[in-house]
Structures are given as structure tokens and as C-alpha cells.
Chains A and B, each alone.
Chain A
Amino acid sequence: MKMGKLLNWALPAAALSLSSGAALAADTIKVGVLHSLSGTMAISETTLKDTVLMMIDEQNKKGGVLGKKLEAVVVDPASNWPLFAEKAAELLEKDKVSVVFGCWTSVSRKSVLPVFEKDNGLLFYPVQYEGEESSKNVIYTGAAPNQQAIPAVDYLMKDVGVKRWVLEGTDYVYPRTTNKILAAYLQLKGVAPEDIIVNYTPFGFSDWTSEVSKIKAFGAAGKKTAVVSTINGDANVPFYKELGNQKISAEDTPVVAFSVGEEELSGLDTKPLVGHLAAWNYFMSIKSPQNTEWISKWHAFTKNPKRTFNDPMEATVIGFQLWVKAVQKAGTVDTEKVIATLPGLEVPNLTGGTAKVLPNHHITKPVYIGEIKGDGQFDVVWKTAKEIPGDAWSDFLPGSKDIEADWVTLKCGNYNTKTKVCSGQNFK
């Protein structure tokens, strides 16, 4: 700590005493931004790039970190998963960035993981995901399944009295793993297997007639039914439209979505969606001084008072603040030392409470359930009493029940508590 403070003073002085431009350039800390700016994911990821740029801007106004200005290095992996790995290598090996903020889809994260582990980089990953992973080089600031899916199902079971479940998802890794965990959890809670159906549809699916009829028929069996939707991307629009057309109302058969947020709703006619639910760790509509402050900063930065703020953006803000704190505490940007400093650090959530980095490289998060309102915002109907610690390895899957991740004492992301074996960084 003392060292850090000393450096804080010493470095600007040193920078001032030098006059050559080259020396000034060397006195910046490089921050990599690895988000798709073109292709299918551009819609969601571009806002995260802007969020990181805003954070860098804010931090530089405060004088930067360790007396050095921050410099963003933005690359475009173009929604192309192998390109993510190439761009990550470019950031770490050529640009020698100190930290990277990036990735959205799980497949892109899986693609860059070996690169970060080989080059010993540091990635902050800001999106809710399926869990079953803990890497030394990644800090997961988005929700693990126990911070989004499980609480949402708990809410529906206890507060809404749902007895029958439709698990509807897009056909790829995140929905499949999440639904596997949910199905196991529901059966553990005494739901009969015939009261659960699981459905998958391709990306961009638009002819929902028979899928929705199936949901309708399944829901007409006299027990309260809910749909847990891991449908991703723009397939959601025709899905909700069809629900409206077939008169499946939110009161009878609520749909709780894990991938529909303010940003996704901002381009939509929200009328047919009103009353349906979403589970997130952040909603723009939650009133708190922190939230108001960041939303107005965001509006000022984008020069657009109508821009929405959403959950992955909050996770990016939290991740960035955690990194700054860790660097200041460690007094260096050396990844080894920063990673060792991170567990235990705390920064405030935008909606109240604190986000604390856990030894498994996940963070604590509050969970909110919101009802969609006519204006595309959410009305919070339920929230957890306190922050939930992120669990890397689900307790409800047979393969991962005994696995533990702990980078402080065990120094392992995949430690089997039964066989006492550490199986490398990532459990396959």
C-alpha cells in the first residue's frame, strides 16, 4: 500500500521531468478491449466497448492509475470465435496490454482461454454464463447459474407457485448447460420429470407457431406453468409476438428470460412483452445514488440521453473498478501480483451492496427479478436479501458436485474434493 502511494507521487514527477515523447508513450498503461464491433454480436458488444472507454476516460480524469494515464487498445474480433484467440494473442504479445476486458458468448471465452493461460494475461469477463469453469487468468464478473437461473426458478416456485416447467432455449452451449443444471435442480426439489419439458430451437428461429402451441398445451394441464427462456438474440422478438398472438398471458404462463435486458428491449415494440419476467443482477430502473450517477455519466459520455444501461455494462464497470483497486493495492500492473491481490477486494454495486472477489475468481452479486414494463424498463418484483456468492462449479450436476475452485489456498480451478486431485485449470 505504502509502495503504491509512493509510486503515485513519484511517477508523475518522473514523467514531468522527462520531455521526450517516447518516454511519455511508455508511461501509459495499456488496457485491451476485446469486444466484437461487427457481425452478429456487435449489437450487444459495442456498448461494452464504449463502457470500457468511458471507464478509462473517467479514470484518466482522476489522474490515471499509479500516476500513469490509461490507454485503450481496441481490437475487433468480428463475432468470429477463432479470431478472438488471434486478437487476444495480439493484445497480449504485441501490444503487451496489462489487462483485457472482453468476450460475450461462452464460445468466444473458451476460444481465448488457452491464450490467456499461456501468456499469463488477465481477462475480465462481464456476462452471465453457464459456469463449470474457473481460470487463474479470468475474473468472472457476470453471474454464474446460482446467481441468476437458480434464484429465478426459486422465485417462480415459491412466490408464484409454478409446478410445471418449460425450459426453452437456443441450441448452443450456454442454454444446454444451464438447462441441464435447472432440470437437475428442479428434480431435486421434487418436480416430476413429466412436468419438465426441454426444447431447443436454432439461432434466429422465427416460425414459433408449433413451439408455442406446445407450450400452450403443456400449460393447460391444470398446474401453474412457467417458461424459463434461454433464447438468445433476435429470435426473442417473434417468440414473444407469437405468445401474444396465441393469447398466452404473463399472468397465466410467465416467461422468465435470462438474456433479455434493457438493451435488447430498446429496439422493440414492448407491448406484447409486458408482464413477462427477466432475472438479472442489475436493472437500470433501480433507484440508487450510484446508479443515477453512472447512468448520467453514460449519457454524457455517449451524448445521448436515451441510451440504456444494462447488466453486462454494470459487470464491466465493477470489473474495471476492481482492477484499478487491485493495481493500486499491488502497486504494479504485473498480472501475477494483480491476480494475487484481487481475491477479497470489494467495490460497490450500482444497485447497492458490494461486489467482492471470491477465491474462485467469481464475485458476489444481488439477484433481481423484474417484470417488463411498457416503456422497455423493468419493475423489480423480487430480490435476494443479500448478495449471492458466485459458484463456479454447480452443486446440481453429478460431474461437478465435488469440484471446487480456489485460487488462494488450493491454487487450483478444478480441485476434486473426493479424490483430492487438481485436474488442471479447466475441467473438461
Chain B
Amino acid sequence: MRIRRTCLTLVPLFMVLLGAVRAQPVDATGDGALAPLLTSLSTADYSEKRDLIKQLSALHDPRVRAVLQSLLDGSLYARTADGRVFLTTEDGDSLNLTDALTSAAAGRAPAADFSLIGVNNQLRKALRVALAQFDLSSPDRAKRLSAVAEMLRGLDEESIAVLRQSMRVEKDAAVRREMQVGLALVDLDGSDVDRRLAAVGEVSQSLDPNVFNRLSALLQPKADGGFSEPDPRVRAAAQAALRGIERRRSFYAGIQTLLYGLSQGSVLVLAAVGLAITFGVMGVINMAHGELMMLGAYTTYVVQLLMPNHIGASILVALPCAFAVSGLVGVAIERGIVRRLYGRPLETLLATFGVSLILQQAVRDIFTANNRPVVTPEWLAGSLQINEVLSLTYNRIYIIGFTLALFLLLLLVLRKTRLGLEVRAVSQNRAMAKAMGVRTEWVDAMTFGLGSGIAGVAGVALSQLTNVGPNLGQSYIVDSFMVVVFGGVGNLWGTELGGNALGVVNKLLEPYSGAVLAKIFVLIFLILFIQRRPRGLFPQKGRAADG
């Protein structure tokens, strides 16, 4: 019986591999079996659905894969009128339909005429296992790899047989390795000592947590004084393998912490770099800086409202929009308030604090006090799996790259453009610049606008990481000032390095002290540092420092 079933499993697998079958209906008999199962799926309760999933995957019909995937994604709908099942994609209030049975596009229809075929956690698990068996024969190498990993998590006789069979036709070395590890784990349970020993050697290079747990289990002492692995040679080999795995694990964990630190540092830099211009270069203490970031985040929200069907591109559209919105508000603040208060830092601080409250209340009145949902586009979600223990989430990778790009762009503007030249001239010696014919008032407004615009762009990035609400700015303003002061006022490089250093220190501390204490330690460290070096990491030198 078992053999028969295994064979049945494998026939279609081979056919797919040989390219004999494409994702098309095979024959009339498969069709006959699929249709009633699909119809009953639309009315079944959870326990019935579980059986139906089993029956569906036993059909080994390539169309079933799409159905199961769609069920897992929550996009499988049944038409209320006749119970016909469709794979769908959302399109506003309508659904784009693909007939589950014929795999043919079936047009577009209002979502109200359809009901979702729901799943719960148990079903999702069953679906993943079922899909993994399909994916084992996928032409996509990455899919096969993850399918093997999925199967390794719960091996039973049936899946072992499937693995053994697929290994014979598997060409790719990496996928083969994974399969071998899986089969070696099975061998560890065998009675043959040599095979067990060979199996330990086989798995010793794998970082899969299953392997680690399995090997550790071998060394567990039992109640009667012996070990769960009776043979001392195997135990010694397992011990050695564990040590090796442990070493590589802590190495990768170190890399991961470092990258987490850099990503948190990048967020700090992002929040601070606009301030580095207004506070660092112009010397204006702008307490409304956080609110300018908040405006950028809200701009993202509005852009997404305007283009609900292009969420992927919305972030890219939001970047220039946020720069414009925050930049214009910044120029308005400068022209309206700050310019009248140059040379009076205390009044500037209070006035801009007032502006920050006005902006917060304005946002509350327009968008309500509740947080606004900003959707994360697909290309920003998920993570890059480098190996079993090291994975990096895409949003963090993008943040690191984005911050770096923004920083370099800003440097370029300040070093290579006419505006940059004038900004530097004015900040170094206002009177002399004026005498040389620089319109200092205009330069002030543009500089403030540039710094504010950058804050808006930072807000777009923050909208992907944190909650978009009226208080968004407040939670970053202290951090921003901290970074600028730590890095050295007036020094962009100081801001970049200072922010990243603080991020890394924070993340290094977090695993030991917890998030709350880590933050406190960083603040204490900063206070002590500023005591010793009041001008920060990279103090400005020369005449500019006296101004």
C-alpha cells in the first residue's frame, strides 16, 4: 500500500521534471476528480477542509498547486451564486478572477459576490507540507531548497520515501546536500553504528537548527546513567560536530548583530542628517524637526491613498513629494519665524517648539489622532536568507543603502553645487559672504528648506519602520539631537559615523541588558562622552569653530 502510494506520488513528479507536463489539465479523469473536491471546499468546515487538502494533493494535478497556494495566501474565493471556485487577485473593490478548474482568466467581478475560503493555523501547516511536496519537483532551485527545508521539519515515512526518490533525480548540489542532511538525520535513528557515525559526519557541516537539536539530543544523559546514543564513538563525533556548529553559529550571530546595529544606526542618521544641516550648519535649534519627518510620513500615506493600485511604486513617488512638502513647510518656518530670531537661540528653540505643537495638532485635526496605516510594498517585506542562522530583513538592508545614498547625495550638494558653496560661505562668515555678493537671506531659506526636505524624505523611510501618527516626530527628536551633538556640530561625517556607532553599541548591549537598559546605558555613555569632549567626535576646527 505504502509503496503503491509512493509510486503514485512520484509519477507526476517525474513527468514534471521531464518537461512532459506543463501547468495544463492532463486528462478528463483528473478533471472529474478535481471539480467535486473544489466545490465541497467552498462549504467545508475546518476539519473537512483538512481532509480535502489531503485528497487534493493526492490528485497530483498541477492545477492543485495553484489552488493550495491560493488557499494559503487567502485569495481563494467561491462564487456565492453557484459555489464555483476562483483564484483571485484584489483590485480595489473587485476581484480579478482565474477559474481554479480550467486555469483560464474569468474576468473581473465585484468582491461582494464572492466569499473567501478561510483557513486556520492547522490548515496552513498542512498546506505548507502539501506545497513542499509539489515544490520538490519545481524547476526553480530556490523553491526546491525551501521545499526540502519545509519537509525536514516534520519527517515521516512517506516524506522520507519522497525525499529518497527525488534525490535520485536531483542534479543541483546544494539541494542534494540538504536532502542528504535530511536522510542522515533519519539514519541517526538506525541501529547500524557505522551508518550513524557516517550520518554524524554528513550533518556536521549543516547549520540547520534541526541538526543541532538532534545532535544535542544524542548527548542527553538518560535516567539510567547511559546516554540516548549508546556508542561512545558516535557521541564523540557528535560532540565535535556540535562544537564546530556552535563556533560558526556565534560567528554569524556576531555578523547579524553588527548589521542590526548598522540598520538602527542608519535610522538614527536618517533622522539626524536633516538636523545636521539646520542645526549643524546654520546653528538653528529646530524643535519642529521631528514634525517635518512626521509630515514626510503622512505624505507617504496620502500618496498611497491616491494610488492604491501601485503600492510598490508609491514609496518612490512619495520621496520627491515628501521632500517638497516638508521643504516648503521648512522654508515657510524659516521665512515666517526663524529669520526674525537669528542670534537668539533660546527664542528660536521656544518658537520652533511652538511650531511643532501646531503641526502636531494640525495633523490630528486633518487625519484624526489615530495612527494611519502605511502599507509596506512587497519588495520591502521579507528577508534575505543567507544561511540557516543568518537572515537580514529587506527593509533593514534598504534602509542602510538608502541612508548611505542620501548622505552621499547631500555631501555632493554641499561640496559640488553653487548652493553648497554659498551655504558653506554663509555658515563660515556671514558678513564676508554678504560682502562678496551672496544673497544670505536666500541662502538661509534654501538651506533650511534643504534640511527640512531631507527630514521629509527620512519620514518616508520611517513610515516603513514605525507607526505613522501625530507623535512620530517626538520619538525621534531627542535621538536626532543626540546624534548631531555626539558626531560634532556642523560635521556631516560626524553625524554619519556617530549615528552608526550609537546604533551598533545599542544593539551589542541589547541582548545582554534588554532594550530598556540598553538605551539608558547609551545615554549615560553619551553624557560622559560629552563631558570629556564637548564638541563631539569630530569638532570643527579653525575659524568656523569660533562663530
A residues in contact (CB < 8 Å) with B? 38, 40, 42-43, 171, 199-202, 204-207, 209-211, 213-214, 217, 220-222, 234, 237-238, 241-242, 244-247, 249-251, 254, 267-269, 272, 274-275, 371, 373-374, 379, 381
Contacts and interface: CB of A to CB of B under 8 A. Distances in A.
A213 B382 contact: no
Interface stretch (B80-88, B157-165, B437-445, B511-519): B511-519
Contacts of B466: 206, 238
Contacts of A213: 256, 260
Contact of A204 (B212, B217, B475): B475
Contacts of B375: 269
Given A210-B257, A241-B376, 10 more contacts: A210-B507, A211-B515, A214-B511, A238-B467, A245-B394, A245-B395, A254-B121, A275-B121, A275-B124, A371-B120
Contact of B515 (A40, A200, A254, A374): A200
B363 to A, nearest CB: 14
The 4 closest A-B pairs by CB, nearest first: A222-B213, A220-B209, A206-B466, A245-B393
Nearest to B369: A42
Given A200-B514, A201-B516, A267-B370, A206 B394 contact: no
Contacts of A207: 264, 267, 465
Contact of A202 (B210, B214, B519): B519
Contacts of A209: 260, 263-264, 393, 396, 507
A206 B467 contact: yes
A374 B124 contact: no
Interface in B244-275: 253, 256-257, 260, 263-264, 267
A272 B378 CA distance: 12
Nearest to A238: B466
B118 A373 contact: yes
Given A245-B395, A269-B376, A200 B125 contact: no
B128 interface: yes
A267 B467 CA distance: 11
Contacts of A275: 120-121, 124
7 contacts: A38-B369, A42-B369, A201-B514, A206-B465, A234-B371, A247-B382, A371-B120
Secondary structure of the B side of the interface? Answer: helix
Contact of A201 (B121, B260, B267, B515): B515
B74 interface: yes
A206 B263 CA distance: 13
Contacts of B507: 209-210
Interface residues of B, number: 50
A246 B256 CA distance: 13
A2 to B, nearest CB: 50
Given A247-B383, A269-B373, A202 B516 contact: yes
A234 B381 contact: no
B515 A202 contact: yes
Contact of B381 (A43, A201, A245): A245
Nearest to A42: B369
Contact of B121 (A43, A171, A221, A250): A250
Interface string B464-484: 011101010001000000000
A42 B471 CA distance: 13
Contacts of B267: 207
A247 B391 CA distance: 10
A220 B121 CA distance: 19
Interface of B: 74, 116, 118, 120-122, 124-125, 128, 209-210, 212-214, 217, 253, 256-257, 260, 263-264, 267, 369-373, 375-376, 381-383, 391, 393-396, 465-467, 469, 471, 475, 507, 510-511, 514-516, 519
A250 B257 contact: no
B290 to A, nearest CB: 13
Contacts of B516: 171, 200-202
B467 A246 contact: no
A199 B122 CA distance: 28
B383 A246 contact: yes
Nearest to A37: B369
B282 to A, nearest CB: 29
A199 B512 CA distance: 11
A66 to B, nearest CB: 38
Contacts of A199: 514-515
A244 B391 CA distance: 13
A244 B381 contact: yes
Contacts of A274: 74
Contacts of A251: 121-122, 124-125, 128
B260 A210 contact: yes
Given A204-B475, A371-B121, A374-B116, A267 B373 contact: yes
Contacts of B475: 204, 206
A254 B122 CA distance: 11
A131 to B, nearest CB: 24
Most chain B CB neighbours (cut-off 10 Å) among A205, A209, A371? A209
A194 to B, nearest CB: 13
B379 to A, nearest CB: 12
Contacts of A373: 118
Contacts of B128: 251
B120 A374 contact: no
B213 A210 contact: no
A199 to B, nearest CB: 7
From A200, A210, A244, A275, name the one whose CB has the most chain B CB atoms within 10 angstroms. Answer: A210
A242 B516 CA distance: 19
A201 B518 CA distance: 10
A209 B465 CA distance: 11
A274 B257 CA distance: 28
A381 B125 CA distance: 16
B469 A234 contact: yes
A211 B128 CA distance: 26
A379 B118 contact: yes
**Among B375, B393, B471, B519, residue most surrounded by chain A Cβ atoms (within 10 Å):** B393
Contacts of B217: 222
A250 B124 contact: yes
Nearest to B209: A220
Given A209-B263, A210-B510, A251-B128, A268 B394 contact: no
A254 B124 CA distance: 12
B505 to A, nearest CB: 13
A287 B267 CA distance: 46
Contacts of A272: 381
A266 to B, nearest CB: 9
